Amino acid sequence: MLAIACPGQGSQTPGFLAPWLELPGVRDHLEQLSDRAGTDLVRHGTTSDEETIKDTAVAQPLIVAAGLVTARLLLTGHTMTAATVVAGHSVGELTASGIAGALTEDDAVAFVRVRANAMAGAAAATPTGMSAVLGGDPEEVAARLADLGLTAANANGGGQVVAAGTLEQLAGLAENPPSKARVIALKVAGAFHTAHMAPAVTALEELRPTLTPADPTATLMSNYDGKPIATGQGNLDSLIAQVSRPVRWDLCMGSMQAMGVTGMVELSPAGTLTGLARRGMRGTATLAVKSPEDLDAARSFIEEHSRTTDPVTAPISEGPQ
């Protein structure tokens, strides 16, 4: 059984889209997405520097667009059914929604435009940030974050948790980390997937009437609880709410294993999620589509892991609570 994984913010690197633009049709596709995103994705994917593409308002549309471009090249001719699992990490849920048919490409990019700008605005309102906590006893890590008032914003599996909160709270974590754990400050602009992002939820609710969600044709996973989402409206509800609640990628990986996923292919800018899968989904084959040179191998990989057509039934996500 095949899983298609769509990476989130932080996976982008300067110039990563340059080799893709050499392929027929890619520049036109990216320019169309740029018009909808309200930013020059061709420039940001080729010549913009690291500081520019780290900006939330640039990074999120760039990552979603890259995934959509890669998917069109890779998945043409592949029929999306419940036997294909599609999952995205954080903003990658929008890429996944576009691939699975739950949102049109235009709606996915319109959503990420508002999401990115609103999250950047919320981050600017209060000095906040995020730090990775690697290792340590899970209960001790959770207790330490709770003591400091921090949120476990990303549970990525494999002993990796991302803590989010005010800079003062994060400084306290760095000064007194849980035993046998390393704390690494992340280069992000704010405490994403926490209550600090509430203004972004409001902005997305205002966008809602302009969108036309549809029921996904593939098995579309939710970052909320790691379960499939059955309806387009339920997916839209979840996408809006997810901006201010933790990403449970660990639960997504657990569900994919339980459903019988044998292979995960990660769309560009790839590498992060296949790396997590090697630790959190042991025994599952992985392939990261990092450049056009990976396309032929990826097509063969998709064909091989699409031969299993009857996924194990998984509980349906209840969505926002």
Task: Please tell me the predicted confidence (pLDDT) of residue 157.
Answer: 87
Task: Tell me the pLDDT band of 117, cut-offs 50, 70 and 90.
Answer: very high
Per-residue HEC secondary structure of the chain comes to: CEEEEECCCCCCCCCCCHHHHHCCCHHHHHHHHHHHHCCCHHHHHHCCCHHHHHCHHHHHHHHHHHHHHHHHHHHCCCCCCCCEEEEECCCHHHHHHHHCCCCCHHHHHHHHHHHHHHHHHHHHHCCEEEEEEEECCHHHHHHHHHHHCCEEEEEEECCEEEEEEEHHHHHHHHHCCCCCEEEEECCCCCCCCCHHHHHHHHHHHHHHHHCCCCCCCCEEECCCCCCECCCHHHHHHHHHHHHHCCEEHHHHHHHHHHHCCCEEEECCCCCHHHHHHHHHCCCCEEEECCCHHHHHHHHHHHHHHCCCCCCCCCCCCCCCC
Catalytic pick from 29, 44, 193, 305? Answer: 193
> What type of residue sits at position 258?
A
Separation between Cα atoms, residue 305 and residue 290, nearest integer Å: 19
Delimit the domains of the chain by residue range: 2-124+194-305, 125-185
Assess if CATH 3.90.105.10 describes domain 125-185: no
**Considering the chain, what percentage of its residues have pLDDT values greater than 90?**
86
**Region 33-38: what's the mean pLDDT?**
95
Task: Tell me the pLDDT band of 96, cut-offs 50, 70 and 90.
Answer: very high
Q: How many CB atoms lie within 10 A of CB 184?
A: 11
Say yes or no to pLDDT of 317 above 80: no
Say yes or no to pLDDT of 106 above 80: yes
Task: Please tell me the predicted confidence (pLDDT) of residue 287.
Answer: 98
Whether 238 is catalytic is: no
In sequence order, what are the residues at sequence separation of 6 or more whose Cβ sits closer than 8 angstroms to the Cβ of residue 252? 87, 221, 222, 223, 226
Say yes or no to pLDDT of 239 above 90: yes
Task: Tell me the pLDDT band of 290, cut-offs 50, 70 and 90.
Answer: very high
Catalytic pick from 90, 97, 244, 255? Answer: 90
Whether 44 is catalytic is: no
Separation between Cα atoms, residue 136 and residue 117, nearest integer Å: 35
Say yes or no to pLDDT of 71 above 80: yes
Question: What tens digit of pLDDT does each residue of 150-171 get?
Answer: 999 999 988 889 999 999 999 9
Say yes or no to pLDDT of 240 above 60: yes
Task: Tell me the pLDDT band of 232, cut-offs 50, 70 and 90.
Answer: very high
Whose tokens are 């990092």? That residue is 290
Domain 2-124+194-305 architecture: 3-Layer(aba) Sandwich (3.40)
Question: What tens digit of pLDDT does each residue of 182-196 get?
Answer: 999 987 889 999 999
